[in-house]
């Protein structure tokens, strides 16, 4: 299977396919079929099992694999090991969607069927999943885990993945790809702020623009695993993922099946190529948002729970004046919700705070030319709520006791049809009454001891499926509604929830210094239009650091821009400056939300350079960012990747704020104040003189093509 840049070679004659090559495109393979078949065998050391070879997509011990198994399960303690034999395989090819290979295997002794799907999409993404079917006519089969694996070559000598917490999501960590298993399990019942998100294996020292890289992402919003494993047998190295199932969660009755999550994989030269493949895939989906991403004003850090009609209308008025296009009312509008200890689950408008309902605010917002959005946390309830008092058995719990609470709340068991219907109809009534345009869908606690009180069984898997079903039904009823995935900030960022949502809230931390890092690495998986990025207050509410408006705006510019700030408190000068940045965003969002993200491999971590280049390379937007002080006295030249080497570009500095560009008497670089044109080849090979910024500053500039063709 081929794309322009990637080739995948698969042995499909066994019950479980084996990937023999996944990496750079190789042409003229038709004449080498005999040689390619030999890749499926391996030399055997003195202590190796006979017949063992490269691991399959679902590795089996019956094939000589002694690493982490692909399928773990049993039938009342028996049939713990499988031997799937080939039944059928089909390959479909499409210029639009790519190639899809389905391999069917059957273990007649264990009475199981395995359907393994490998797709190489036109975007260059390889994705895989496995389906296990119980073909017994009488006995159930317990599935403990299904893991999908993909091989990487011995050149993959280093691992990069991510750790995190609330307010500090997606912090990179990297280390050698040593013998053993690097296992990143998420058992929070949601994707998690500490999720690996992307796990990349690559040649030592790989960076944004250099080195071979193979990367995987597990697309699941519940308990999951992403892992890398290196064994000594055959010097095997694999990366993969799957769902983490709690004991007894999936027991297949006769005829039932279990689908593993999709594992998405990308190959490229450098991390920017990995990101480009993920972004192309997401942008190719029919569900991907195509309308212009509107400027958002979210009320949370502006007013918190202090809801007052007149104040909110004034906030909306000021927001509209600076260019806001979507006004979102956050937590605090429903019955009894004066703080975070009560009210969750009671999705009716609080008549004490809103005696005339939300109608007056919605009308005022729409009269100002803005869309109206509303906050919900549909999967949760407070113990102090009518729902919990009337239906205590709707709480996810291990049985006869409640689990520990988180943020004063418990998890609503959406696997119960009556609980599901209650939330669905309550939300539908409000959305329908006010023609809501946008839902900020929050999820603020981990799922500890998540059981069904009636069955006593663990329920994370079924709860995750039910959440998807709730989103799907709301989208079916209200196709105009966009949904933001928020989960204590960036705790639910994965491809499966993005099949149903239109952006993610990357973090509850709006401190622009923290956001530079969070957005940099969220962008390895998601394009800018899917990442909410807001301008916060001068002093960040989460870190108490104070930053200039220029730095806050320059950071928010490279995402789906919005405001999380009580702009009523801003001075006239600040409002004018903010309005100018919002106007710039509206001017460049076509570029930011369709272009290719690029990063300079500058050796000093104190100074970052990143940008977005248009698909036709006709324009680009870049930012130099001083993350901290440098050891050197000046940054020197920084190379700008991604431009057309045969084109000449005019440099257009963005001068919307007063920025101290230099600490020397000589002033900023000449290109900042003197009209300058430079070729893409020069900018990539020699670079652009970077200004000497103070720490925690960002400088934004545009590049516009003025000539194209071969340069001399």
520-550 in b/e burial notation, b at 16+ Cβ within 10 A? bbbbbbbbbbbbbbbbbbeebbbbeeebbbb
Which one is predicted more confidently, 407 or 95? Answer: 407
Catalytically active residues are: 442, 508
Provide the β-strand partners of residue 216. 199, 265
Confidence category of residue 46, pLDDT binned at 50, 70, 90: low
Which residue in 415, 494, 518 sits closest to 191, CA to CA?
494
Q: What is the pLDDT of residue 710?
A: 55
Residue 278 contacts residue 266 (beta carbons within 8 Å): yes
Q: What is the pLDDT of residue 242?
A: 98
Q: What is the pLDDT of residue 53?
A: 76
Tell me the mean pLDDT in the region 113-128: 98
Confidence category of residue 712, pLDDT binned at 50, 70, 90: very low
What DSSP designation does 261 have? P
Structure confidence by residue, pLDDT tens digits, 431-481: 999 999 999 999 999 999 999 999 999 999 999 999 999 999 999 999 999
Cα 418 from Cα 397, distance rounded (Å): 17
Per the structure block, which two tokens stand in for 138?
């009488």
Domains and CATH numbers, the chain: 6-284 (2.70.98.60), 296-579 (3.20.20.70), 597-707 (2.60.40.1180)
Structure confidence by residue, pLDDT tens digits, 561-598: 999 999 999 999 999 999 999 999 999 999 999 999 99
Q: What is the pLDDT of residue 658?
A: 78
Structure confidence by residue, pLDDT tens digits, 168-225: 999 999 999 999 999 999 999 999 999 999 999 999 999 999 999 999 999 999 999 9
* Chain CA centroid to CA 209, Å: 21
Residue 229 contacts residue 244 (beta carbons within 8 Å): no
Percentage of the chain beyond pLDDT 70 is 97
Q: What is the pLDDT of residue 216?
A: 99
Which residue in 30, 139, 128 sits closest to 78, CA to CA?
139
Structure confidence by residue, pLDDT tens digits, 57-110: 999 999 989 999 999 999 999 999 999 999 999 999 988 889 999 999 999 999
Q: Which residues contact 519 (CB under 8 A, 6 or more apart)?
A: 506, 531, 533, 555, 558, 559
Residue 56 contacts residue 71 (beta carbons within 8 Å): no
Tell me the mean pLDDT in the region 381-389: 98
Q: DSSP string spanning 552-572?
A: HHHHHTTSEEEEES-GGGS-H
* 696 pLDDT higher than 90: yes
Tell me the mean pLDDT in the region 145-165: 97
Per the structure block, which two tokens stand in for 71?
């399928």
Tell me the mean pLDDT in the region 142-155: 97
Q: What is the pLDDT of residue 39?
A: 84
Q: DSSP string spanning 376-434?
A: E-TTEEESBSHHHHH-GGGB--SSSSPPPPBTTEEEB-TTSHHHHHHHHHHHHHHHHHH
Per the structure block, which two tokens stand in for 222?
């519940």
Q: What is the pLDDT of residue 32?
A: 86
Confidence category of residue 660, pLDDT binned at 50, 70, 90: low
Tell me the mean pLDDT in the region 616-633: 96
């Amino acid at each position: 299977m081929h794309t322009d840049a990637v080739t995948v070679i698969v042995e499909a004659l066994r019950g479980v396919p084996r990937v023999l090559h996944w990496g750079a495109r190789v042409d003229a393979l038709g004449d080498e079929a005999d040689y390619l078949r030999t890749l499926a065998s391996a030399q055997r050391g003195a202590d190796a099992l006979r017949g063992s070879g490269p691991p399959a997509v679902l590795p089996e011990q019956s094939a000589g694999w002694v690493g982490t198994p692909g399928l773990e399960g049993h039938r009342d303690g028996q049939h713990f090991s499988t031997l799937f034999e080939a039944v059928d395989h089909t390959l479909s090819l499409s210029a639009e969607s790519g190639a899809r290979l389905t391999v069917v295997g059957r273990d007649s002794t264990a009475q199981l069927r395995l359907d393994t799907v490998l797709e190489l999409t036109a975007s260059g993404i390889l994705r895989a999943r496995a389906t296990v079917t119980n073909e017994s006519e009488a006995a159930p089969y317990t599935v403990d885990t299904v893991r999908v694996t993909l091989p990487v070559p011995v050149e993959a000598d280093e691992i990069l993945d991510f750790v995190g917490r609330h307010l500090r999501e997606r912090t990179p960590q990297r280390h050698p790809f040593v013998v053993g298993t690097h296992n990143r399990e998420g058992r929070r019942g949601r994707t998690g702020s500490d999720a690996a998100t992307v796990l990349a294996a690559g040649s030592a020292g790989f960076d944004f623009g250099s080195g071979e890289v193979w990367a995987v992402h597990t697309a699941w919003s519940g308990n999951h695993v992403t892992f890398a494993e290196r064994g000594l047998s055959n010097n095997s190295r694999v990366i993969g993922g799957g769902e983490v199932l709690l004991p007894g969660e999936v027991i297949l009755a006769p005829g039932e099946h279990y689908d593993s999550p999709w594992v998405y994989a990308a190959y490229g030269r450098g991390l920017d190529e990995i990101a480009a493949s993920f972004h192309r895939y997401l942008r190719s989906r029919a569900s991907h948002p195509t309308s212009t991403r509107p400027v958002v004003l979210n009320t949370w850090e502006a007013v918190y729970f202090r809801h007052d009609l007149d104040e909110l209308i004034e906030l909306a008025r000021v927001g509209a004046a600076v260019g806001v296009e979507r006004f979102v009312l956050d937590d605090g509008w429903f019955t009894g919700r004066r703080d975070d200890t009560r009210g969750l689950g009671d999705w009716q408008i609080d008549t004490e705070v809103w005696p005339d309902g939300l109608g007056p605010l919605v009308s005022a917002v729409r009269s100002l030319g803005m869309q109206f959005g509303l906050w919900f946390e549909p999967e949760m309830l407070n113990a102090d709520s009518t729902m919990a008092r009337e239906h205590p058995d709707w709480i996810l719990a291990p049985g006869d006791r409640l689990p520990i609470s988180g943020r004063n709340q418990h998890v609503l068991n959406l696997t119960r049809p009556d609980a599901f219907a209650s939330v669905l109809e309550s939300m539908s009534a409000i959305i329908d009454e006010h023609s809501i345009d946008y839902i900020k869908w929050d999820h603020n606690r981990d799922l500890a001891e998540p059981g069904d009180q009636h069955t006593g069984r663990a329920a994370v898997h079924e709860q995750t499926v039910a959440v998807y079903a709730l989103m799907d039904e709301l989208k079916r009823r209200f196709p105009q509604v966009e949904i933001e995935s928020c989960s204590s900030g960036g705790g639910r960022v994965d491809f499966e929830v993005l099949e149903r949502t239109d952006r993610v809230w990357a973090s509850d931390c709006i401190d622009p210094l923290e956001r530079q890092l969070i957005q940099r690495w969220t962008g390895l998986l998601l394009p800018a239009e899917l990442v909410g990025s807001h301008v916060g207050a001068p002093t960040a509410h989460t870190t108490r650091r104070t930053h200039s408006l220029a730095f806050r705006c320059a950071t928010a510019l490279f995402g789906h821009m919005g405001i999380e700030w009580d702009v009523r408190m801003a001075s006239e000068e600040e409002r004018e400056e903010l309005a100018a940045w919002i106007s710039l965003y509206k001017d460049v969002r076509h570029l930011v939300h369709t272009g290719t993200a690029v990063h300079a491999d500058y050796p000093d971590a104190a100074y970052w350079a990143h940008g977005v280049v248009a698909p036709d390379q006709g324009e680009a937007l870049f930012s130099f960012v001083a993350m901290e002080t440098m050891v050197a006295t000046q940054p020197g030249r920084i190379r700008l990747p991604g431009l057309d080497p045969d084109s000449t570009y005019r440099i257009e500095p963005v001068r919307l704020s007063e920025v101290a560009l230099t600490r020397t008497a000589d002033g900023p670089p000449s290109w900042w104040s003197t009209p300058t044109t430079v070729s893409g080849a020069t900018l990539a090979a020699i670079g652009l003189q970077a200004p000497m910024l103070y720490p925690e500053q960002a400088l934004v500039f545009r590049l516009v093509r003025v000539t194209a063709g071969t340069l001399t």
